[in-house]
Structure 1
Amino acid sequence: MTSDTTDLPAVTEAAPVTGPTDPGGEAPLRLVVVTGMSGAGRSTAADNLEDLGWYVVDNLPPNVLPEVCSQARQNGITRLAVVLDVRTRSFFEQLPTMFADLSGGGTLPEILFLEAADDVIVRRQESVRRPHPLQGDGRLMDGITRERELLATLRAAADLVIDTSSLNVHQLGSRVRSAYGGDEQDQLRVTLLSFGFKNGVPVDADMVVDVRFLPNPHWVPELRPQTGLSRPVSDYVLAQQGAEPFLDHLQQLLDTVAVGYVREGKRFATIGIGCTGGKHRSTAMAEEFARRLRAAGRPTTVLHRDLGRE
C-alpha cells in the first residue's frame, strides 16, 4: 500500500451517528471480523479501527472468539475487531454457526473483506520481500490463486468489501473511518463511488449504474477542463433531460433494497456510478445523489475513484 498523497480521489465523509442500545439499556457488542487477501490492507484497516476506539485483536485463536466476546461485554466493551487471515481457514468453515450463536447472545457480528487485484498484491508482496502465506515451494501467484479459492465463500458473505487496488493508506483509512466511525445499526450506510468505465468497473460495488445516457460535458469546450465538482459542470449535467428522474428512481430503488439489506444484517452498500472517464457526469451525479441521501438522513460517503486520472 503506497503512502503517496498526490492526486488523491476526492472523498466526502458523513458525520458519525450515535448508535442504539438494546431494550434492556445495555449497548450490544459490535464485532467486526477483518479479513481478506494478503497484501490488501488488513493491518491498515485494523490500525484505523484502533484509532477510532475499537478494541482490536490480531490473529486470535478462533476457538476462543465466543469467550472473548463474552468477556468484552462483561467489561463494557461495545466495539471489538478481530483480524483473521487465511492461516485460520478452519475458522471460516465455522463462521456461519458461530455468528448465529453470537447474534443470540447480544453480539452483532459482521465481516470486513479487503480485496485487491493480483498484480497489485504481487507488487506489494515483492516490495516487502515476504513470501505469501500459502506460497509454499511454489510461485507467489500460486499462493494468491489458492488464497482466492479459499476465501471466495467468505468474500461473498462479507458485509463490506473494499477494493484497495487503487487506494493508498490514507484513502483506505477514509473508507474505514466512514464505515466504522459511528455505532448506528438500524440503517444502511452508503458509499457512492464515481468511476470511469474505461478504467474498469469497481469490483467492490454492490450495484452499478450507468450515466452515459447523459450528454458529455467533455464536448463543451469551456467545461472540458473542469470536473463534476464544479458548479458549471454540475448545473449542466443536472439540467439534462432524464438526470433528475434518474436520481428519483435510484433513490426509490435504494429505499426499497435498504429495508431488506438491514433486515438481512447488511449494514453497508457501495453504489458505483459510472460514465466514460469518471470526470464529469458520474462525479456530478454522485455528489447530487449524496446530497439527497444525506438530506433524507442516510449516512453517505462519496469517493471519486478516477478523478485526476488522464
Structure 2
Amino acid sequence: MTEATSLTPVKPPESELLVVTGMSGAGRSTAANALEDHGWYVVENLPPQLLTTLTELVARTPESIPKLAVVMDVRGKELFSEMKASLDGLRAAGVNYRVLFLDAADAVLVRRFEQGRRPHPLQGDGRILDGIAAERELLAVLKHASDVVIDTTEFNVHALATSVTELFSDSGPIVLRINVMSFGFKYGLPVDANFVADVRFIPNPHWVPLLRPRTGLDAEVRDYVLGAQGAADFIDRYVHALVPALDGYRRENKHYATLAVGCTGGKHRSVAVTEEIAQRLAQLPGVQVTAHHRDLGRE
C-alpha cells in the first residue's frame, strides 16, 4: 500500500482503470473532478455488480476511453459489500486496475458533514460518528488492499486536487488553458471573461481608408496597431502583470482563464493585440493558449 505523502507518480500499464473509494466526506467528488480535468472518463456511484460489465464494454474499444475512473461509495451498503468480490473478479480476468482510497480523521469528517448539513449515509437514527464507525468497519479490508491512500485531514479542496494531479496526471503539474478573446464593446462585454483589457486608447484603423476593410489579422493593420504610441509598452506591462495572477490560478487548481481584449467594434485593434498577447503568453511554461475573435466579421 502506497501512502500519498510521498506523492510518487504511479504509472500504470497501457489500459488504465482506477477505482476511487474511501470514507464519505474525505473528498471523492473533488478527486473525481481533478481526474476528469486530466482526461479520465469518470463514472460516479456505480454499483459494484456493474463494474465487470463496464470494464468489458470499455475493453472492446480501449482507444475510446483510455483512462477510466470509477467512483464507489457506501450509500448502497448491501451492494458495496460485494465490491471486493467484483475487484477479485477483475484481477482473475487479467484486468489491471488500481484502487485510490481517501481517508480523514473522524473529527474532520464530522465537521465536514455538519458544515454540509447532511447526515452520514450509514448513521441511520444514530449520530454521525456512528455512521463513520460503521463505514470504517465496512471499508477496512479494502483500505488495506488499496494501491494509494490519501489522508485528506489537513487538505482543502485545492490541496487534494493537486495531490491527485501529481499522482494520476500524465503531464504532471496542472496545465493552465488560457483563451485570449477579442471583442467589440458595442456588442457587450463577454460574460465569461476573467480579465478585461481596453485598447481603445490606440488610434483606430477604421479611420484610415486603406485599413478600414481589413482586420487585425492582416499585416498592415497589425503593424499600424502595434506600432502606435504606447501600444507595445501596454502589451509588455500587461503580460508582465498577468504572470503572478496566472501562477495563482495554478496554485488554486483553476484550469481555465479567459482574457478579453476589447476595442469599439472588435475588428482591428483588439484582434491585433489579442494575437500579440496570445503569442507572448504561449511562451510561458505550463500554459496552453488559444486566440478567439468573438466579433470579427460582424457589421
User: TM (normalized to structure 2)?
Assistant: 0.50
- List runs of 5+ in structure 1 lacking aligned partners: 1-10, 21-26, 184-310
Q: Post-superposition shift, 1:106?
A: 4.9
Query: Contact 2:44–2:70 (CA<8 Å) still a contact in 1?
Result: yes
Q: 2:130 corresponds to which letter in structure 1?
A: D
Q: Distance in 1 between matches of 2:160 and 2:36?
A: 14
Give the Cα–Cα distance (whole angstroms) in 2 for the partners of residues 16 and 133 of structure 1.
31
Q: Relative contact order (alpha carbons < 8 A, sep ≥ 6): 1 or 2 greater?
A: 1
Decide whether the 8 Å contact of 2:48 with 2:83 is kept in 1: no
Over 3 Å counting, the alpha-carbon distance change for 1:51 and 1:119 in structure 2 is same
**Match of residue 129 from structure 2:** 141
**Given the alignment of the two structures, is residue 150 of structure 1 paired with residue 143 of structure 2, yes or no?**
no
Out of 154, 157, 161, the residue aligned to residue 173 of structure 1 is: 161
Contact 1:59/1:84 (<8 A) preserved: yes
Residues 75 and 99 from structure 1, CA distance in 2 versus in 1: closer, same or farther, beyond 3 angstroms? same
Partner of 1:32: 18
Give the C-alpha shift of residue 89 in structure 1: 3.8
Structure 1 equivalent of residue 66 of structure 2: 78
> Any conservation in 1 of the 2:22–2:101 contact (CA below 8 Å)?
yes
Taking every aligned residue pair, what percent have the same amino acid on both sides? 50
The RMSD of aligned alpha carbons is 2.5
| Larger Rg, first or second structure (1 or 2) | 2
Letter of the 1:128 partner, please give it: G
CA distance in 2, matches of 1:98, 1:178: 28
Matches within 5 A, 1:278-293: none
Instruction: State the SS of the aligned residue for 1:149.
Output: helix
Give, in angstroms, the shift of residue 61 of structure 1: 2.0
| Contact 1:135 1:143 (C-alpha < 8 Å) held by counterparts | yes
Q: Answer yes or no: is the 8 Å Cα contact 2:10–2:167 preserved in 1.
A: no
Establish whether residue 60 from structure 1 lines up as the match of residue 60 from structure 2.
Answer: no
Q: Is the 8 A contact 1:62 1:88 kept in 2?
A: no
In the alignment, structure 1 residue 108 sits paired with structure 2 residue 117: no
State the Cα distance separating 1:101 from its structure 2 match. Answer: 3.2
SS of alignment partner, residue 132 of structure 1: coil
Contact 1:16 1:181 in 2 (8 A): no
Give, in whole Å, the separation in 2 of the partners of 1:147 and 1:68. Answer: 25
Tell me, in whole angstroms, the C-alpha distance in 2 between the residues paired with 1:34 and 1:61: 13
Q: Counterpart of 2:30?
A: 44
Q: How far, CA to CA, are the matches of 1:36 and 1:123 in structure 2?
A: 17
Distance change in 2, residues 1:134/1:94 (3 Å): closer
Residues 1:68 and 1:148: Cα distance change in structure 2 (over 3 Å): same
Matches of 2:7 and 2:151 in 1, distance apart? 18
Aligned residue pairs total 165
CA distance in 2 between counterparts of 1:94 and 1:13 reads 30
Change beyond 3 A, Cα 1:85–1:141:
same
Q: CA deviation at 1:67?
A: 1.3
Q: Is the 8 A contact 2:49 2:83 kept in 1?
A: no
1:15–1:111 CA distance, 2 compared to 1 (3 A): closer
Counterparts in 2 of 1:122 and 1:182: CA distance versus 1, 3 Å: same
- Matched residues in 1 for 2:115 and 2:67: separation? 33
The letter for the 2-side match of 1:145 is: A
| Poorly superposed stretches of 4+, deviation over 4 Å | 11-17
Closer, same or farther: CA 180–102 of 1 in aligned 2, 3 Å: same
- Shift in Å at residue 97 of structure 1? 3.9
